[in-house]
Chain A
Amino acid sequence: MTNKKKLDSKALTLLCEKSKKRVVQVGEDKVLICMGGGCIASGAQEVKDALQKALDGEKLSKKVSLIDAGCLGPCARGPVVVIGKDKTFYQKVTPEDAKTIVQSHIRDNKIVESLLWQDEGTEKPVPVQMDLEFFKRQTKVVLRNCGRIDPVSIEDYFGCDGYQALSKALTKMSPDGIIEEMKASGLRGRGGAGFPTWKKWSFTRASEGDTKYILCNADEGDPGAFMDRSVLEGDPHSLIEGMALGAFAIGASQGYVYVRAEYPLAVERLEIAIKQATEYGLLGDNILGTDFSFNLEIRMGSGAFVCGEETALIASIEGKRGEPRPRPPFPAQKGVWDKPTVLNNVETYANVAAIVLNGGKWFADFGTEKSKGTKVFALAGAIENAGLVEVPVGTVLGELIYDIGGGIPNGKEFKAAQIGGPSGGCIPKQHLNVPLDYESLDTLGAIMGSGGLIVMDDDTCMVDVARFFLDFVQEESCGKCVPCRVGTKRMFEILTRICKGEGREGDIEMLIKLGNEIKDTALCGLGQTAPNPVLSTIRYFRDEYEAHIKEKRCPAGVCADLVRAPCQNACPAGVDVPGFVSLVGEKRYSEALLLHRERNPLAAICASVCFHPCEGKCRRVDLDSPVSVRGIKRFMTDQEKEMLVPEVKDNPELAKRKIAVIGAGPSGLSCAYFLARMGYKPVIFEAEDKAGGMLVQTIPSYRLPRERLDKEIEMIKKMGVEIKTNTRLGKDITVEQLKQEGYEALYLAVGAPSGMNLSIKNSDAKGVVDGIKFLREFNVKGKTAVGKKVAIIGGGNVAIDVARTAVRLGAETVTVVYRRTKEEMPAYEEEIREAINEGVLFEFLAAPKEIEVKDGNAVGLRCSRMSLGAFDSSGRKKPVEEYGGEFVVAADQIVAAIGQVVEAKDYADTKELALTKKEYVQTDPTTQQSSVEWIFAGGDVVTGPSSVIDAIAAGEQAAMGIDTFLTKESHVFWREEKANDTDFDPDADPVEFKREELAQVAADKRKDSFCEVEQSWSESVAVKQAKRCLRCDYRETVECK
């Protein structure tokens, strides 16, 4: 590499031509291996050595060469290898795989399918790199060479027209010409603030003085951002060329790159690149034989986040403490050693050579009206394809996360994207449709920032995230100005106490007030933006803050002081899951069941129908799969031989107070149960002739055998609860009457018993029925008319219940028509799966348009074919009609299961009873008290159609609320945590049993029977399954921060 001839423009062009063949072309026997920081950490070097060894072994090393490439982008898939001859992309390659690749693919031309990337949508392996959604949807300008060339070879860079832009500028353009081109490009600073690059350059050029400097900010300190690192490590010459062009434009002859110390590999590669460029005469004196001279040096940071601020960075380069100073004067007038200075970040410079070479207009064709070009984003956090991607500015957030990023792993739900690091904000799911450009992000309270994009799923607590960022900034605050030094500290203290469950009324308002004051008064960008993550999480997740402060509850299950175990935290009723599970593990079934009934009386019912949010939060998922909590519960409740009634207090005073519960559904039953435990004697009024509400009226018996239901209702009756059936509120009794009869409190738990009406053409035809009515008729009366060909409209549990009931009643074909896809269906996954097993057909992406009628009878359902379009406010892709895609589902019975409505007006005088926008009853979330002092409400009448367990939880809360309302004190005694005395060895390795599902009766045997489908386990299976619990409730006495 020494004694290279200094190049002139002509020689450079020749060299570039000659080097073209260095860049891997299709058909060449070359193998690219990603040597980006991510892949190295995943073991790329070992893979490379193994590949070399395998090539040697096959005597192929002369024919096939291995090339170290810069970052290809999909870090989470590393180490990655691309076979040059057909651009086959291999992911997660291990040293052991290397031999297979060489022998199979390189020697025998057979693709190794097991190492290919599976497309997330089609679930098929995709061999060719550019056919992968991850790559196909990207537009690379900044990262144009990353992953294509060897970053430590300047010749490779020449092969990609390297330094041709510099040559063009020095021989054919004036400095003003370059600035003009930058203006035409519309490039804005990629470090965060988005100031137009050409303006900065033109101010500095216009500043007086002979000595000017050009600086590069490579102090990429925003946690979650690593785009600059990838450019430095993957294509360092593009930075050097961009800076040289900038130096020429502003008239600088000295430049510095300020790299953070955390990036040793970046420093190493940049050093090599500078040396190479100097040897070729592309840096130093008389570059390319012209009179332009430019020297570039590296300055290393020493671990201070504030040095990303321009005036602090300049101080640091001068060898001082990196403290910011007020502006003006701006660096364009007074920068390094008070000389005019331009400062841009790595990504900005990496665009420059491409702009100069291809013209500003070319660049401006990418992006939006006001934000031009492309932007690199670092995807991280809860996202399948974590890594680096480059897309045109204005690309929609949802597309970035789902189509390129592959969505959220482990079946979790998207909660928010945090963009812009500690200076930025979060974007919740209702804004997944936001275009990623400077203006749109600004209106949502976030910023583009440097492009770090952290995806958060429902396991993330937003208060904890805000606290994290404040912890970060208050530690990194340089301390020069008071608002930042003291203000962020105070905010951090408030957030810490909220996370500990010691939050106070008024804390949220105080955070907002402090935040706005710090924004207005801090000295530099760090302080001015520091409150953003707090303000933005309050803006979108205020309810989460309130849950911490008022209910001392962390809904995401993160804040250690508020969460005993994530499963228990996830259970709306707060059932002690690790407690009863570990008791089952010791075969102490009665104790286990009683512990369960401390918080949830309907254990057997929930064992059949609960959608088990506890399992969704089970930490064992990180190891293999969640504990089968519902299966364990099923076994436990099956062991109940004699009825196990938990502690009931005798209290003659309370027994005198009259309380009415309206509705004997799960919520009403639960409320009455807890009231009875305190000593009250509540009366339940039920409209139908059987207690159970939706459990008995709509949930089919193959899911919930009636004897299980009856048993638990019997238990509640035994505790002193009277149930009056066939007594409908609004008809047989009224609220007024109850009051006159001396009832002092009323719990309204009437559910959402009516189906929503279908409003398409011919909805009144014969054969069109409502789903709830259909189920109720069958479940209550024992029979209902069923068609031969049944079509069901909807995607919820009612739709599936109707479908599976219709199969059992002998329908020939049963088709569920749903306008979105299976992934978006609100019905429980296992229900959908079993419906499919029973032969139910599904028409996804189909929206009903009209009912086809013959002689007044329905004969078919005309549907439009839909496709998924932009994201809607629920964070799901909205179905849009496809042109000309109509079709008819033949059906003589059409069942509408499109939602349920609450008819609160029918029950109470709504002049006083406040309703929500959706006409549900409005209540205080902690006491369930409505706007009418003595009326409490809960369950579906408050939430709209929801789950059994939510209804049970609301009943318990209402019991507490009613008790406090009547007595001004609390008689609640079941909420204290019970000590768990089961054996547990925290040092032992977790047992290795795999998760078992409950067995199902074979589909052909159950299709014409209403017998229960799910079968319980044997004792040995149940005990083993219980032992899988990791016992997150166990507390060690170690000091952990």
Chain B
Amino acid sequence: MAKEQPCLCTEEVSEQECMERLESVLKEYKDKPDALIPVLQIAQTIFGYLPEHVLKKISRTLDKPYSEVAGVVSFYSFFSTVPRGKYVVRVCLGTACYVRGGNNVLGALKKELSIDVGETTEDRLFSLDVGRCFGACGLAPVIMINDDVHQRVKPAKIAEILKEYRTVEEKEAIANDK
């Protein structure tokens, strides 16, 4: 099982440190027959996404053809080969959320962030995705921002919700400056 990994993507971690983390993970999983998916999941946590050189490294170490690795990555929607925002905003378009207006929420988010689904804002703060049911149907419509579930979201509330995250960011930036 993928051991809990600290999410490094949000901190200033050098490429080298990331590669070292990957090395040690690969060492642990190298001989397991089902290693590929857990390794990719951990690698994505380390790097924030799956850059090509990381995939190549994984392919070599696990002794799997690059085509197979790339095939798996492209198959699963959770893997991304482009950098993602610090906060991934996922709008649920499961049935319950859809019939409760999830689509309008998505429209409002696109407008507010000025990006389309699958894209990331210029400041790398937010990415926008669509999800298929987060199992919070009783509270539809919902969106998830990283692991936080926001319930009964109304298009008019979008700006307010995003502001929370932007404020956190600003505070951190000020703290870092000091």
Interface segment, A257-265, A563-571, A709-717? A257-265
Q: Does B37 contact A (CB under 8 A)?
A: yes
Cβ–Cβ contact B110 & A1041, under 8 A: yes
B79 touches A271 (CB 8 A): no
- Which B22-70 residues sit within 8 Å CB-CB of chain A? 33-38, 40-41, 68
> Are B103 and A1041 interface neighbours, CB within 8 A?
yes
Give complex CA distance A76, B137 in Å.
9
User: Across the interface, which residues of A come within 8 angstroms of B138, CB to CB?
Assistant: 38, 74-76, 78, 226, 378-380, 386-388
**A304, chain B: closest CB distance, angstroms:** 5
User: Is A222 located at the chain interface by the 8 A CB criterion?
Assistant: yes
Question: Given the interface contacts A41-B151, A319-B33, does A304 sit within 8 Å of B96 by beta carbon?
Answer: no
A946 proximal to B (CB < 8 A)? no
Other-chain residue from A42, A323, A388, A456 in contact with B99 (beta carbon distance below 8 A): A456
A42 near B139 with CB under 8 A, answer yes
List A509-548 residues whose CB lies under 8 Å from chain B. none
Answer whether A298 and B133 are a contact pair too, CB < 8 Å, given A42-B151, A304-B76, A1041-B103.
no
Are the CB atoms of A302 and B33 closer together than 8 Å?
no
| Residues A305 and B137 in contact, CB atoms below 8 Å apart | no
Q: Is the CB of B151 within 8 A of A302?
A: no
Q: Are the C-beta atoms of B96 and A454 separated by less than 8 Å? A: yes
Contact at B1–A229, with CB atoms within 8 Å? Answer: no
Verify if A1034 is at the interface (C-beta below 8 Å from B).
no
Closest A residue by C-beta to B149: A41
Contact A322 B76, beta carbon cutoff 8 Å: yes
Q: With A318-B34, A460-B99, A465-B99 given, is the CB distance from A472 to B132 under 8 Å?
A: yes
Known: A302-B77, A380-B96, A468-B95. A222 touches B107 (CB 8 A): no
Tell me the bound Cα distance from A682 to B1 in angstroms: 82
Contact A302 B34 (CB under 8 A): no
Docked Cα-Cα span, A318 to B34, in Å, equals 5
Interface presence of B94 (CB below 8 A):
yes
Residue ID in chain B nearest A385 by CB atoms? B138
| A316 engages B37 (CB within 8 Å) | yes
| Beta-carbon contacts under 8 Å, B106-164 to A | 106-107, 110-111, 117, 131-140, 142, 144, 147-151, 154
Question: Which of A76, A262, A386 has the most CB atoms of chain B within a 10 A radius of its CB?
Answer: A262
Contact A224 B137 (CB under 8 A): yes
Interface residues of A in 183-241 (CB under 8 A from B): 220-226, 229
A303 at the interface (CB under 8 A from B): yes
Query: A646 to B123, alpha carbons, bound, how many Å?
Result: 57
Asked whether A452 is an interface residue with its Cβ less than 8 Å from the other chain, the reply is yes
Q: Is B94 in contact with A224, judged by CB distance below 8 angstroms?
A: yes
- A645 interfacial by beta-carbon distance below 8 Å: no
Is the beta-carbon distance between A468 and B98 smaller than 8 angstroms? yes
Is A590's beta carbon under 8 Å from chain B?
no
Q: Which residues of A lie under 8 Å from residue B38 when comparing CB positions? A: 299-300, 319
Q: Which residue on chain A has the smallest CB distance to residue B142?
A: A41
A45 to chain B, nearest CB (A): 11
Report A-chain residues with C-beta under 8 Å of the C-beta of B134: 262
If the complex has contacts A318-B33, A321-B71, are A226 and B147 also in contact, measured as CB distance less than 8 A? no
Which of chain A's residues has its CB closest to B77's CB?
A303
A389 CB to closest chain B CB, in angstroms? 11
CA distance A810 to B38 in the complex (A): 84
Is B137 in contact with A319, judged by CB distance below 8 angstroms?
no
Complex contacts, A465 vs chain B, CB 8 Å: 95, 99
User: In the bound complex, do residue B131 and residue A262 qualify as a contact, i.e. CB atoms below 8 Å apart?
Assistant: yes
Return chain B residues, CB-CB under 8 Å to A305.
Answer: 132
**CB of A337 closer than 8 Å to a CB of B:** yes
Q: Does B82 contact A (CB under 8 A)?
A: no
Query: Is residue A382 within 8 Å, beta carbon to beta carbon, of the partner chain?
Result: yes
Whether a CB of chain B sits under 8 angstroms from the CB of A172 is no
* A109 CB to nearest B CB, Å: 32
How many A-B contacts if CB must be within 8 Å?
Answer: 165
Shortest CB–CB separation between residue B37 and chain A, in angstroms?
Answer: 5
Chain A residue nearest to B68 in the complex (CB): A320
- A319 lies within 8 A of B72 (CB): yes
> Is A297's CB under 8 angstroms from B1's CB?
yes
**Distance A301 CA – B79 CA, assembled complex (angstroms):** 11
Q: Inside 8 A of B95's CB, which chain A residues have their CB? A: 223-224, 380-381, 418, 421, 452, 454, 465, 468-469
Please measure, in the bound complex, the distance between the C-alpha atom of A599 and the C-alpha atom of B35, giving whole angstroms. Answer: 68
B13 at the interface (CB under 8 A from A): no
Residues of A with C-beta under 8 A to B98: 223, 468
| Shortest CB distance A470–B (Å) | 12
Given contacts A271-B1, A303-B76, A381-B99, contact A75 B136 (CB under 8 A): yes
Kindly state the separation between the CA atoms of A264 and B136 in the bound complex, as whole angstroms.
13
Residues of B within 8 Å of A304, CB to CB, are: 75-77
Residues of B83-103 at the interface with A, using a CB-CB cut-off of 8 Å, are 93-100, 103
Bound Cα distance from A452 to B96, whole angstroms: 10
A251 interface hit (Cβ, 8 Å): no
User: Does A1 reach chain B (CB closer than 8 Å)?
Assistant: no
Known interface pairs A75-B136, A304-B77; A382-B99 also in contact (CB < 8 Å): yes
B133 touches A41 (CB 8 A): no
Report the minimal beta-carbon distance from A570 to chain B, rounded to whole angstroms. Answer: 18
Q: Contact at A319–B35, with CB atoms within 8 Å? A: yes
Instruction: Say if the beta carbon of B18 comes within 8 Å of chain A.
Output: no
Within 8 A of A (CB), among B1-34: 1-2, 33-34
Whole-angstrom CA separation of A460 from B2 in the bound complex: 42
B117 nearest CB neighbor, chain A only: A1041
- Whether, in the assembled complex, A914 has its beta carbon less than 8 Å from a beta carbon of chain B, the answer is no
Residues in chain A near residue B149, CB distance under 8 A: 37, 40-41
A303→B78 contact, CB < 8 A: yes
Kindly state whether residue A1039 has any CB partner on chain B within 8 Å. yes
Inter-chain CA distance A160–B132, complex, in Å, is: 35
Chain A residue, CB-CB nearest to B62: A319
Chain B residues with CB below 8 A from A1038, complex form: 107, 111
Asked whether, in the complex, the Cβ of B96 is within 8 Å of the Cβ of A381, the reply is yes
Asked, given contacts A223-B96, A382-B99, A1040-B110, whether A321 binds B72 with beta carbons under 8 Å apart, the answer is: yes
Is A1008 interfacial (CB 8 A cutoff)? no
Q: In the complex, which residues 258-290 of chain A have their Cβ closer than 8 Å to any Cβ of chain B? A: 261-265, 271
User: Which residues between 437 and 479 of chain A lie within 8 Å of chain B, taking CB atoms?
Assistant: 452, 454, 456, 460, 465, 468-469, 472, 476, 478
Bound form: Cα–Cα A664–B172 in Å:
75
A152 to chain B, nearest CB (A): 15
Q: Which residues from chain A contact B131 at a C-beta distance below 8 Å?
A: 262
A residues 374-428 touching B (CB-CB < 8 Å):
378-382, 386-388, 418, 421
* Chain B CB within 8 A of A791 CB: no
Q: Within the assembled complex, what's the spacing in Å between the Cα atoms of A379 and B95? A: 12
- Digit string of A29-43 for contact with B (CB within 8 Å is 1, else 0)? 000000001101110
A319 to B131 alpha-carbon distance, docked (Å): 23
Question: Would A37 and B41 count as touching, CB distance under 8 A?
Answer: no
Kindly supply a per-residue 1/0 record for chain A positions 1019-1041, scoring 1 wherever the CB is within 8 Å of any chain B CB and 0 otherwise. Answer: 00000000000000000001111
**A945–B134 Cα gap in the complex (Å)?**
46
> Smallest Cβ distance from A420 to chain B, in angstroms?
11
What separation, in Å, do the CA atoms of A324 and B147 have in the docked complex?
30
Asked if A317 lies at the interface with its beta carbon under 8 angstroms from chain B, I say yes
**Complex Cα spacing A221 to B135, Å:** 9
Q: Once the chains are docked, how many angstroms separate the CA of A541 from the CA of B100?
A: 20
Measured between beta carbons, the chain B residues less than 8 angstroms from A382 are 99-100
**Does A337 contact B136, Cβ atoms closer than 8 Å?**
no
* CB-based nearest B residue for A304: B76
- Top 6 A-B pairs ranked by shortest CB distance? A75-B138, A223-B94, A380-B137, A226-B135, A302-B76, A386-B138
Given contacts A302-B76, A319-B72, 5 further A-B contacts (CB under 8 A): A301-B78, A302-B40, A303-B76, A454-B137, A468-B98
Pick 20 A–B contacts, CB within 8 A, sort by A: A37-B135, A41-B149, A42-B139, A76-B139, A223-B132, A224-B137, A225-B135, A226-B133, A262-B131, A264-B147, A265-B147, A302-B78, A303-B77, A381-B96, A381-B99, A388-B138, A454-B99, A468-B98, A472-B132, A1039-B110
Q: Which residues on A are within 8 Å of B, measured CB to CB?
A: 37-38, 40-42, 74-76, 78, 220-226, 229, 261-265, 271, 297-305, 316-323, 337, 378-382, 386-388, 418, 421, 452, 454, 456, 460, 465, 468-469, 472, 476, 478, 622, 1038-1041
